[in-house]
Amino acid sequence: MRTRAEYIERLGKMNHNLFFNGEKIDRLDERQQGALNVMGLTFDAVWDPASKDLCTATSHITGETINRFNHIHQNAEDLHKKQDMTRMLVNKVGQCIQRCMGIDAANAIHAVSYEAQKSPKAKTAYHDNWLKWLERFQREDLVASCAQTDVKGERLKRPAEQIDPDMYVHVVEERNDGIVVRGCKVHISEASISDEILVVPNRALQKGEEAYALAFAVPSDYEGVKQVVHFHNYRKRDTYERGIEYGYTDSYVIFDDCFIPWERVFLCGEIRHGGIAASLFALFHRHSYSGCKPAMLDYVIGLAALAAEINGIEKTPHVRNMLSELIMTGELGYAAGYTASALGQPQVYMPGMGLVPYGPGSYIPNSIYANVGRCLTGEAVFHEQEILCNIAGGMPATFPYEKDLTNPETKALLEKYLNRNPKIPIEEQIKFWLNFIDFGLSGSTGSVQYGSYHGGGSPIMEQIAITSQYDLESKKDIVRAIAGMEPRAK
Amino acid sequence: MRTRAEYIERLGKMNHNLFFNGEKIDRLDERQQGALNVMGLTFDAVWDPASKDLCTATSHITGETINRFNHIHQNAEDLHKKQDMTRMLVNKVGQCIQRCMGIDAANAIHAVSYEAQKSPKAKTAYHDNWLKWLERFQREDLVASCAQTDVKGERLKRPAEQIDPDMYVHVVEERNDGIVVRGCKVHISEASISDEILVVPNRALQKGEEAYALAFAVPSDYEGVKQVVHFHNYRKRDTYERGIEYGYTDSYVIFDDCFIPWERVFLCGEIRHGGIAASLFALFHRHSYSGCKPAMLDYVIGLAALAAEINGIEKTPHVRNMLSELIMTGELGYAAGYTASALGQPQVYMPGMGLVPYGPGSYIPNSIYANVGRCLTGEAVFHEQEILCNIAGGMPATFPYEKDLTNPETKALLEKYLNRNPKIPIEEQIKFWLNFIDFGLSGSTGSVQYGSYHGGGSPIMEQIAITSQYDLESKKDIVRAIAGMEPRAK
Amino acid sequence: MRTRAEYIERLGKMNHNLFFNGEKIDRLDERQQGALNVMGLTFDAVWDPASKDLCTATSHITGETINRFNHIHQNAEDLHKKQDMTRMLVNKVGQCIQRCMGIDAANAIHAVSYEAQKSPKAKTAYHDNWLKWLERFQREDLVASCAQTDVKGERLKRPAEQIDPDMYVHVVEERNDGIVVRGCKVHISEASISDEILVVPNRALQKGEEAYALAFAVPSDYEGVKQVVHFHNYRKRDTYERGIEYGYTDSYVIFDDCFIPWERVFLCGEIRHGGIAASLFALFHRHSYSGCKPAMLDYVIGLAALAAEINGIEKTPHVRNMLSELIMTGELGYAAGYTASALGQPQVYMPGMGLVPYGPGSYIPNSIYANVGRCLTGEAVFHEQEILCNIAGGMPATFPYEKDLTNPETKALLEKYLNRNPKIPIEEQIKFWLNFIDFGLSGSTGSVQYGSYHGGGSPIMEQIAITSQYDLESKKDIVRAIAGMEPRAK
Amino acid sequence: MRTRAEYIERLGKMNHNLFFNGEKIDRLDERQQGALNVMGLTFDAVWDPASKDLCTATSHITGETINRFNHIHQNAEDLHKKQDMTRMLVNKVGQCIQRCMGIDAANAIHAVSYEAQKSPKAKTAYHDNWLKWLERFQREDLVASCAQTDVKGERLKRPAEQIDPDMYVHVVEERNDGIVVRGCKVHISEASISDEILVVPNRALQKGEEAYALAFAVPSDYEGVKQVVHFHNYRKRDTYERGIEYGYTDSYVIFDDCFIPWERVFLCGEIRHGGIAASLFALFHRHSYSGCKPAMLDYVIGLAALAAEINGIEKTPHVRNMLSELIMTGELGYAAGYTASALGQPQVYMPGMGLVPYGPGSYIPNSIYANVGRCLTGEAVFHEQEILCNIAGGMPATFPYEKDLTNPETKALLEKYLNRNPKIPIEEQIKFWLNFIDFGLSGSTGSVQYGSYHGGGSPIMEQIAITSQYDLESKKDIVRAIAGMEPRAK
């Protein structure tokens, strides 16, 4: 297992394919530091005795101790631990811990490549390729991001119906030694600070869309890969320093006729498995949200409770009521993930067939519970901001700038008039509000909200998953029996 | 274990202390039949091979096989099974299965009497008394209701502040051989069809309220006990018969200077344990709701899905959206209960002390998860009706009467004009709508809603439980660390 | 103008075409009394000096003073007065005043018949026929109900696509002297207590659906008309009498090959005007809701405030908060109607053309404001019940029966234990709760809710009206200008 | 009436009392330009023939034509015009037009100073002073901001209970020639670009709080006044230029023992009128929101509709549904303001007395309607962002930077992959999304939301106004009559 320093060192040696606001930048550019700080926590955790047990696992292929973020879930306990590891680490930074994309994509591809390799028309030994890649991934303790979201062009048209066929990543040429792919994946978190990028399809596919049924891996600085990067950092502070400097990044990952050798291809043409790859990554990722969204709620609850304390209204009924709403959202989200873990099985839902065994025995969380949890916490995002706004009052919207707070002409006056709670030193109150502004009123706020709402699938996607997979007919049977109607014809 | 018939036979022999609309009635009165039919299912279940395993348990005091409704939870598995048994049985009748009051009160008193007996001022050997009562309760397979809700008089005043001290049940006299109690418990489900009534306090108590810290058992036809009964039945149908005739009842249980011998007293004067008895029954009961509310949702989902199917709109996006809302509520409620079971421990939350061991080792569900689940499903009650109304359209509000549907002058015309789906026989459609009306537009609908909303504690009670028990300070710590604030002074 | 007695006397002479639960009944049957009591208020009002001005108008065709319910709106003031008259009368009975169907249909047909008569293919002099009918309607002070809602069969199919063509009322034969119509209109409020029934189409129509573009009037006991009646009454009370005995009724109005002479036909075949007739009646009726829904809210606010007062919690913040929600819904609904009146014009919205002059100059409320108001108040219905449930607590769900409250064995005990507020006599408290139960927990509750939700068009219908009529392009222009985009191509 | 240029020129001559991030800055500093651009629109409007009628008025004191923002409302028509002028001007910039503070404060002080001058203990001729100030204000066409919100210190304590008595602005010394005031007003919009600042109390006052019952005017660069300024501007764009560069500013206005001569004092010590001044400014300002919030909604609707159009989903039912929600909020808000104008009277609500005549005859909007409208639109703020997020999808959260869009290495690729609608030029799509980001995902977004939520009074303040002023007893009377209860004792 690597250290934070080893991880960063390796990134420093990579090719320059990051574009930022008209420049080409290095992976150790200062604007990457916030994100690197966060990812670094996932390396620190395995060396910290307090978190080592939770954050490591035993590889089922090598028997070695590995970072849990590179592990394939072997049982329900592994699912529980992923959820709890995620919540614990997110609690250290109050935002996305950034490494779950890799574990979620790896677990999806692990099962899909296994099933697809059985296909008589398989283009290569998908699962064998995969196991080779996985073994190195675990051994070298790499960071993978997952590229799923296509740009999608006209949104009511399917991939093959688009005027421009490149609106979904697809194979444009098949060669003896590999394939050439073209297209662009967007909103790819941590792609600029990852070692590898795992690519999976974005949606269910049908006949004629074989070129889009595609899963593979590339190094993130690979030839033919261009990343247009977005940063979400906070302005440094001179006086009122944060406890941790954090940020995040995401990329447009453009495959500009990029050549992929067969040994890095895990799926190529099997439309049914392509659709499962899409939904299985989403499922694992929604399960990750059952750790990260409760942790985000922990942070929001802390912000709300401290704001209320500073404002001297922590005990008022309407504040208690809002705190209980936040707690409910977080803990229902956690409970949904917990239940999804406990009821996990090596099986997937297939339309018309229900739950069927799938993959080599690795564990998959229960889809209904993973989806209801993600949907609940996704839909709550903006209402959480409303609660914070309600409790905080207007103060954060017009808070003085840092240098007004230190300017001798204004410092004493501002400290006098900002003070709302004689029991809390004014410096602490100021640090709190500056942090509150970072979360709720900064240039990163909107992006975080959009990510929390749409990431892992917008609420509407979870609703579709829920209603299409739920056994509605058995619920009708309950009514039929009580109403004295005829039993369902079987 | 008894049969349905044995249960009913015993009720037939009881004293007449039921008042209904000015009359005194027998326990086998025809208006009791609906409720008896439902309670009967809990007896049938232990003789049915399909449900026997789920619905029986091994008594931890006698080692005998007993009805699970009379069992003291020995481990998390017992909690899981109670939840699942409840959901399964409620699914047979689409409403409250009515026997959980007994198991929930028994589990609360089991722990409380154990702790209270240790008190140096204990008036009698509470737990020894309890074990004797419990042994008979299990052996004779009795049905117990639980009387908790006091009339409460002026609602912003505490028990001892009321003008009339009888607004909460209390001891009015202590004798050598027992105590005399006075007061009235309201909304007591199934009291008129139960063998025994377990009485517990209604709230946290403080010094000066010792007379209200009271738990005991009485036969439900006991001298000094008067029940004023309310029935919630459906009009019988002549042609379009239901699959099951069901109903329920509740009572004002009046203790009119009722004498209770010491051997039936399980708590008398220990205010701290009185408060715990109140909250512990509520906790067990909210956990029961994690079985019954998902089952009620199963029923509502079935109603909504069938209404949509008959209306030919099952596939429209707005209907799918509403179905997903119902599913989310039900399964989040289930997941909360599941997690509360899995994280159950023999411990309770005490203000200022956090979770502490409590009772003789019997299992208590996690309070936070039990409360967030109950609150979610409680608050959803009226919105569920809105969804049903939205999907059904106006038809149920003006549906023809049964005899118009059979009158030769109108039958053919009505069947012609009621038909909305050529794939479903019109008789089936009619039966469905009549059943829909039973649930959503009958004289029982309001009472069911009020019970679902307030039963086991109104949403506001769960919110208070949640915010008072949640570890808010640890959430503030997360913010303090990220904001660079001083750590909390310990 | 007639008196209540004259109105009832005339009904007593009508033919027997009402079917109720297998019988044929008289229009003065006791089950009709509740509804007659309510309708009677609209006759009393014109003789009461306090309401005479508001409830009468000057006929624009005869110059006579007429009941305002039979008036064609001549200006914005008439629209204001209809709204205020409705609110005032609904406040007398706490529910639908039942006579707005007639005024709303009359105003719609007044404009539509005028425009349709201009059609070169007009089958008869629609508007001349109408004016003749209207003159008698005003002179004889008749009550009209409006039959709009068809049974609709398979709901995703248009009228002409149905397997059974009778799913929407239509012409089955055209004769020299008139037309023969067939079909069934459902949920027709007050049809069994009305003198006349006005029939209008249910939806927008297209080519091939000419037979459904139909408006006419029939006496409500006409040959070929059968009514299957539904009653929504309350059980009489022996001791705790109501201030008014009220109820309502609705009918399945079946046109069983009913012959309509040309002079009673106001539209027959003009599909565009058929669609306008449908939407115009809906518009007038949604405007009526801006009087009746605020009045219903007045009643709900009164119930909530009295429940809170009896429970002693009228001043608690959460109750104030809920009261403010109710007030907001009612007064926003009123304001929407007020603005719709003030901005009323003799014009209608036509797809692709916007607002265009329509009809002979009679006033039509602004459609956007009428729709936003109706939608708001329609969607609030179930939440209002939740608020009442929240404030009332469980008491109404298990309230004792009237005879238990008077039985000497239980009266004193029940009065002792029901008492929650020493400042309010217990008899008053009892009367209040019985009335509360009438509204929220009786066999009529569901029907009232369904009517409030779907009547005048379900919320989804208003949403469709709003988005299809709103000038979205002008809103995009605002963005275009600020964003520096090109102006819209005109 | 002045021009934009004259307005700006005057500001350039003012003393330097603006503090920004440690510096003292000039009023024509570049960071003030965005706000000046917006305020300039209010000057342009009176010279533009298209808006001149709406934006000017005839002074009731001089008979001269004046900018309507400096007018005292003489009738309901004036109130209607203020609402419509506000909506029209906000539509030009998509945000706060910034000059309503002055008109709202002036109208409040106009009435309050009139009544307070009658007080036998009046310290000076309040209304005479006021009229002199007002005459110059109108003649010189000045811009006034209004300073109401005090810092408030410990929020559950009243002004006189605070440890530091300066938490609310108050008189610290009374002299022959005037008064010395101390304290700090926060969130004072446009104070740094205004000519004058009007100061009014922040809350209802009681005996012992006379020093806080204070209204006066100061030039905004007055001796003893320090402003700590906050800017909300957008980064300039190089290529994709906006249609207008806009921004806004607000100040901490600190009165550091500032001397106010009597002739600028309009209230000093009359606690009852102090409370009315507070609530009357709030009322006029909430009425202004009935123009500005619908206009903001117009902008949001435009953003949502264009995002949907670009995404090709403008016709999908769920998008129509969300558009209808936005329209409903905006138009209900407008209708509430319209009704508040139409029912305006020269009267205010006084606790215990109801509506009573107040002031010299100038018009005051109806308080209930002004409050229900403001509350509705205030509570909707965060949900509006959710709707925009839902319709837009993730694109705005990770949108490329401007220079990536013009960098030859990435321009073509990005334009290819950003394109979602072949009917709209890609440059237009880009400009749209950049504008969308300004509104919903920039560093100003949070502040705008907080302002929309809390400005003019948080929703809870409107709820308190609503329930305390609404005639609840008359609603109870409706219930009493129907329930057969005793009439209310009068």
The model's pTM is 0.97
Chain A hits for B470, Cβ within 8 Å = 323, 327
Question: Which residue, D257, D273, D289, sits at the end of a domain?
Answer: D273
- Rounded average pLDDT over D94-122: 97
Helices marked H in B441-471: 445-454, 459-469
Instruction: Check: CB of residue A18 under 8 Å from CB of residue A226.
Output: no
B270 with B298, same domain: the answer is no
CB–CB contacts below 8 A, A to B: 204
H helices of D167-316, in order, are 271-311
CA distances from A291 to A90, A188, A281, D376 (A): 8, 20, 16, 35
- Give whole-number Cα distances, A382 to C273, D382, D384, in Å: 45, 6, 9
DSSP string, C31-97: GGHHHHHHHHHHHHHHHSHHHHHHHEEE-TTT--EEEGGGPPP-SHHHHHHHHHHHHHHHHHHTS--
D318–chain B nearest CA distance, Å:
8
- Measured CA to CA, the distance from residue C308 to residue C316 in angstroms comes to 9
CA-wise closest residue to B152 among B390, B454, B368: B454
Residue A318 contacts C where some CB pair is shorter than 8 Å: yes
Query: What are C145-169's pLDDT values in tens digits?
Result: 999 999 999 999 999 999 999 999 9
Q: Which residues contact A11 (CB under 8 A, 6 or more apart)?
A: A27, A28, A36, A193, A195
Same domain, C220 and C334: no
Distance (Å, whole) CA D466 – CA D458: 13
Please report, in angstroms and rounded to a whole number, the separation of the first and last CA atoms in chain A: 55
Which residues from D are below 8 Å from C483, CB to CB? 242-243, 431-432, 434-435
Q: Does A381 touch chain D (CB under 8 A)?
A: yes
Q: D33 lies in a domain?
A: yes
Q: Are residues C235 and C297 in the same domain?
A: no
- Residue A251 pLDDT > 80: yes
pLDDT at position D277:
98
B487 in a domain, yes or no? no
Q: Is A92 at the interface with chain B, CB within 8 A?
A: yes
Mean pLDDT of A402-428: 97
Are residues B267 and B288 both part of a single domain? no
CA-to-CA distance for B188 and B218, rounded, in angstroms?
A: 14
Task: Round to whole Å and give the CA distance between C391 and C389.
Answer: 6
Tell me which residue has tokens 């994946």.
A185
> Quick one: pLDDT at residue A281?
98
Q: Do A155 and D318 form a contact (C-beta atoms < 8 A)? A: no
CB contact (8 A) between residue A404 and residue D20: yes
pLDDT for residue A75 is more than 80: yes
Do the chains contact at B441 and C454, CB–CB below 8 Å? no
Task: Specify the pLDDT at position D483.
Answer: 97
D428/C376 touch (CB, cutoff 8 Å), yes or no:
no
SS3 (DSSP) at A435: helix
- Residue D263 placed within a domain: yes
Nearest CA to A130 among A167, A150, A105?
A105
Q: Which of B241, B324, B486 sits opposite A428 (nearest CB)?
A: B486
CA pair distance B30, A262, nearest whole angstrom: 77
Q: Is residue B347 part of a domain?
A: yes
Chains that touch C (3 or more CB pairs under 8 A): A, B, D
- Cα–Cα distance, C130 to C144 (Å, whole number): 14
Give the pLDDT mean for D373-386. Answer: 97
Interchain contact, B475 vs A92, CB within 8 Å = no
Best of A450, A463, A467 to disrupt the D interface (most D CBs within 10 Å) is: A450
Neighbouring C-beta atoms of residue C206, cutoff 10 Å: 15
Give the range of the structural domain holding residue C47, as residue numbers without chain letter. 4-270
- Do B263 and B338 lie in one domain? The reply is no
pLDDT number for residue B380: 97
Pairwise CB contact (< 8 Å): C394 & B446:
no
Neighboring chains of D (3 or more beta-carbon pairs < 8 A): A, B, C
By the CB < 8 Å criterion, does C321 face chain A? yes
C264/C408 same-domain check: no
Q: Which two tokens stand for residue B473?
A: 């300070």
Mark yes or no for CB contact A450/D417 under 8 Å: no
The residue among D93, D376, D479 with the most chain C CBs within 10 A of its CB, best to mutate, is D479
Please give the full DSSP string across C259-273, using - where no structure is assigned: EEEGGGEEEES-HHH
C335 has which bridge partners?
none
A403 touches chain D (CB under 8 A): yes
pLDDT-based confidence at residue A489 (cuts at 50, 70, 90)? confident
Which residue, among D233, D314, D398, D449, would best test binding to A if mutated, counting the most A CBs under 10 Å from its CB?
A: D398
Residues D265 and D311 in one domain: no
Q: Which of residues 410-429 of A touch B (CB under 8 A)?
A: 428
CATH classification of the domain holding B23: 2.40.110.10
> What residues in chain B have per-residue pLDDT under 70?
none
C chain contacts of residue B394, beta-carbon cutoff 8 Å: 149, 186-187, 450-451, 454-455
* Residue D485: CA count within 13 A, CB half-sphere: 26
Residues of A with CB below 8 A from B431's CB? 483-485
Of B299, B320, B483, the CB nearest to A479: B299
Supply the pLDDT for residue C352.
82
Residue A202 DSSP SS3: coil
Closest by Cβ to D446, choosing from A400, A416, A440: A440
Is position D126 within any domain?
Answer: yes
Rg value, chain A, Cα:
24
Interface partners of chain A (CB pairs < 8 Å, 3 or more) are B, C, D
* Angle at CA of residue A382, ends D375 and A245, nearest 5°: 130
User: SS3 letters for B134-152?
Assistant: HHHHHHCCCCEEEECCECC
The residue out of C270, C299, C334 marking a domain boundary is: C270
Question: Which of C382, C403, C421, C439 is the best mutation test for B, with the most CBs of B within 10 A?
Answer: C382
ipTM score for this prediction: 0.97
Check: CB of residue A136 under 8 Å from CB of residue A142: yes
Kindly give, in sequence order, each residue whose CB lies less than 8 Å from that of residue C315, ignoring residues fewer than 6 positions away: none
- Number of domains comprising chain B: 2
Q: Which residue do the tokens 């913010």 mark?
A: B479
* Residue B216 contacts A where some CB pair is shorter than 8 Å: no
Is any Cβ of chain B less than 8 angstroms from the Cβ of D390?
no
**CB-CB: which of C92, C323, C369 is closest to D467?**
C323
Q: Looking at the structure, do residues D132 and D267 belong to the same domain, yes or no?
A: yes
Q: Check which CATH number belongs to the domain holding D282 and give it.
A: 1.20.140.10
Interface contacts C/D by beta carbons within 8 Å:
205
φ/ψ region of D152 (left if φ > 0, alpha if ψ in -120 to 50, else beta) reads: left
Q: Same domain for C247 and C300?
A: no
Count of Cβ atoms closer than 10 Å to residue D374 Cβ: 32
Neighbours of chain B (3+ CB pairs under 8 A): A, C, D
D487 falls within a domain? no
- Condensed to tens digits (0 to 9), the pLDDT of residues A128-155 reads 999 999 999 999 999 999 999 999 999 9
Closest A-chain CA to B460: A321
Check CB contact under 8 Å for C451 and B397.
yes
Task: List CB contacts (< 8 A) between C236 and chain D.
Answer: none
Q: Is the pLDDT of residue A490 over 90?
A: no
> Given this model, what pLDDT does residue C416 score?
98
Residue C489 lies in a domain: no
Of D273, D305, D339, the position where a domain reaches its end is: D273
- The verdict on D267 and D295 lying in the same domain is no
**In this structure, is residue B489 part of a structural domain?**
no
Q: Rounded to the nearest 5°, which phi and psi values hold at C409? A: -70, -20
Nearest-by-CA chain C residue for B164: C416
Do the chains contact at D94 and C324, CB–CB below 8 Å? no
CA dist C439 and C424 (Å) reads 21
A41: contact with B, CB 8 A cutoff? no
Residue B91 sits in the same domain as residue B21: yes
Whether residue B99 is found in the same domain as residue B217: yes
Percent of chain A with pLDDT over 70: 100
pLDDT at D490 over 80: no
Question: Among candidates C10, C332, C357, which has minimal Cα distance to C194?
Answer: C10
- Among C424, C415, C380, C400, smallest CA distance to D480 is for C424
Q: If chain C, 490 residues long, is cut into consecutive pieces of 10 residues, what is the mean pLDDT of each piece?
A: 98 98 96 97 98 98 98 98 98 96 98 98 97 98 98 96 97 98 97 98 97 98 98 95 96 98 98 97 98 98 98 95 98 98 96 92 98 97 98 97 97 98 97 98 96 94 95 96 92
So what's the pLDDT on residue C290? 97
Q: To which residue do tokens 């009305």 refer?
A: C194
D302 near C CB under 8 A: yes
pLDDT in tens, C91-105: 999 999 999 999 999
Cβ–Cβ under 8 Å, residues D115 and D358: yes
- Residue B24 CA to residue B20 CA, distance in Å, equals 6
